[in-house]
Amino acid sequence: MRRFLLISILLMTNSPALFARDMQEMFGEVFFNAVVEVSGRTVSGVMVIKKDEANKCRILFTTVAGPKLMDMYISQNDYKILYVIKKLKRRIILRQFQQDFALISGLYLFGDNKNCENDSCTVILPKKKSAHYSFDAQNRICKAEYRGKGKLLAEVVYIYNNNDEIESISLRHHNFNMKITLSVRKLFPDV
């Protein structure tokens, strides 16, 4: 009810930019147009990533028409499924999504085993894996890598707009054919 009241009040201000910014700041939700490409097959839709204060993220992936494909909580090392369609209900797939979105959202940076120097951080993960983050001059994540036994397994590139806001994120796996592209979905287009 509080969320509905807040949305109603913000809509009455006739300021779409204010509405979108306040929603993102209050609830930590970011809406993305998402495209997931795996071995020549493509799934697209809307993805909502919501970060909470307990170093967890909630990932909701729906088609553009509305049916839910996946709804899960992720942390640095674990995940909890709220809903997933039957085709995605495989442990290896869900574990891969957990690793990918922990890397994308920066959850690994909250780990204990990290070594930060100048414009980069390396986080040592279980099973001889690691996450490497590079930062730009504004201290924003510009690149992230996931490595296993010294090999590059996945790479994430972040693109920012002129207002220092994330415009798009792309993740590409090097050990199998999978790519995830997220572009920020504007709730209200600029007028």
For domain 2-184, is the CATH number 2.60.40? no
Residue length, the chain? 191
User: Cα–chain-centroid distance for residue 117?
Assistant: 24
Tell me what pLDDT residue 189 has.
58
pLDDT on residue 162: 86
- The answer to whether the CB of 119 falls within 8 A of the CB of 135 is yes
At 44 the three-state DSSP class reads: strand
Among left, alpha and beta (phi > 0; psi -120 to 50; other), residue 55 is left
Q: What phi and psi, each to the nearest 5 degrees, are found at residue 21?
A: -65, -45
Whole-number pLDDT of residue 139: 87
- Kindly state the tokens that stand for 90: 């495989």
For the chain, the structural domain boundaries read 2-184
Q: Which two tokens stand for residue 153?
A: 């397994």
Task: List, for residues 12-34, the tens digit of each pLDDT value.
Answer: 333 333 333 333 433 468 889 99
Average pLDDT across each block of 10 residues of the chain; the chain has 191 residues. List them in order.
35 33 49 90 91 85 88 92 91 92 90 86 91 91 92 95 88 93 76 50
Q: How far apart are CA 64 and CA 148, in angstroms?
A: 34
Contacts of 108 (CB under 8 A, 6+ apart): 76, 102, 123, 125, 131, 133
Query: Do the Cβ atoms of 156 and 142 come closer than 8 Å?
Result: no
Q: How far is the C-alpha of 164 from the C-alpha of 167, rounded, in Å?
A: 9
CA distance 33 to 78: 25
Main-chain dihedrals φ then ψ at residue 80, nearest 5 degrees:
-135, 125
Angle at CA of residue 188, ends 21 and 101, nearest 5°: 60
